[in-house]
C-alpha cells in the first residue's frame, strides 16, 4: 500500500489513501477466509511497515491494525518495498500493489517485473480521485506537489485541453506495460464501489485455481 503524500488527496469524503486502506483490508479479509497466508508492506520513499505473510489466527487483526495506523507522508519509491518483499517472500501467490502511481512509470514497472519473474500473480490497483480526471478550475491556479512541495502556476486551458490526454496516456502506459509482463491493471476512482476492484481480485484467484 502506497502511503506517499499524493495518496492523501481527496476531493470528497474519502481520500485515495483511505480508499486504499479499505481495499487492502478487504483483500486481506477475503484471503484470510480462504485460510491463505496474508501480509502487507506499507511504503512511501521507504518501507514504513512490513507484516510478513502468515496464516496465524491473529494475522488478520495485526494487518488491520497496521493499515489503520498508517499515515501518508513523503514521496514514492518502489525499489525498497519490492526488494524487501522479494527477499522475504519466496512462495508464489497474489501480490496486489495499491497506489496512484504518480511517478515515472519506467523505473516502477522495471521493479514490478521482478514479481512476475518470481512467479507471483500481480495486480496493480491504480486509485485516482474524480477531480484528477477533470479539474474544475476556471482561473489560473497555483498547484503544489504534495510530495516535493514544488509549486507551479497552471492555466485552466491546459487543464481542460492538454491535461486529460496526458493523464490518459500515463494510465495507458501503465496498463500496457502491466499486460506485457502478465499483470492485471485495475483503474478505480475513489467514488467507485469496492466491488469493481474486488471482482478483479476474485477473477485472478479463479484463474490461479
- pLDDT score, position 164: 86
- CA gap 5, 189 in Å, rounded: 18
- CA gap 45, 72 in Å, rounded: 11
Tens of pLDDT, residue by residue over 149-180, are 677 777 767 777 788 899 999 999 999 999 99
Tens of pLDDT, residue by residue over 189-201, are 999 999 888 887 7
The closest alpha carbon to 42, from 21, 27, 59, 60, belongs to: 21
For the chain, first and last CA: distance in Å? 25
Element (H, E) at 195: helix 194-208
**C-alpha cell belonging to residue 122:** 500481480
- pLDDT score, position 98: 96
Amino acid at each position: 500500500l502506497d502511503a506517499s503524500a499524493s495518496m492523501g488527496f481527496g476531493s470528497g469524503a474519502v481520500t485515495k489513501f483511505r480508499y486504499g486502506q479499505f481495499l487492502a483490508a478487504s483483500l486481506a479479509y477475503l484471503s484470510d477466509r480462504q485460510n491463505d497466508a496474508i501480509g502487507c508492506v506499507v511504503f512511501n520513499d521507504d518501507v514504513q511497515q512490513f507484516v510478513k505473510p502468515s496464516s496465524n489466527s491473529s494475522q488478520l487483526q495485526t494487518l488491520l491494525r497496521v493499515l489503520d495506523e498508517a499515515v501518508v507522508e513523503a514521496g514514492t519509491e518502489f525499489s525498497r518495498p519490492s526488494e524487501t518483499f522479494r527477499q522475504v517472500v519466496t512462495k508464489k501467490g497474489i501480490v496486489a500493489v495499491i497506489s496512484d502511481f504518480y511517478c515515472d512509470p519506467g523505473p516502477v514497472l522495471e521493479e514490478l517485473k521482478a514479481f512476475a519473474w518470481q512467479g507471483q500473480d500481480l495486480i496493480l490497483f491504480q486509485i485516482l480521485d474524480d477531480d484528477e480526471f477533470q479539474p474544475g478550475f476556471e482561473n489560473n491556479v497555483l498547484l503544489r506537489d504534495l510530495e516535493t512541495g514544488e509549486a507551479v502556476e497552471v492555466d485552466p486551458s491546459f487543464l481542460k485541453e492538454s491535461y486529460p490526454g496526458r493523464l490518459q496516456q500515463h494510465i495507458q502506459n501503465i496498463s500496457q506495460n502491466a499486460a506485457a509482463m502478465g499483470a492485471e491493471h485495475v483503474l478505480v476512482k475513489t467514488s467507485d464501489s469496492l466491488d469493481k476492484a474486488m471482482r478483479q481480485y476474485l477473477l485472478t484467484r479463479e484463474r490461479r485455481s
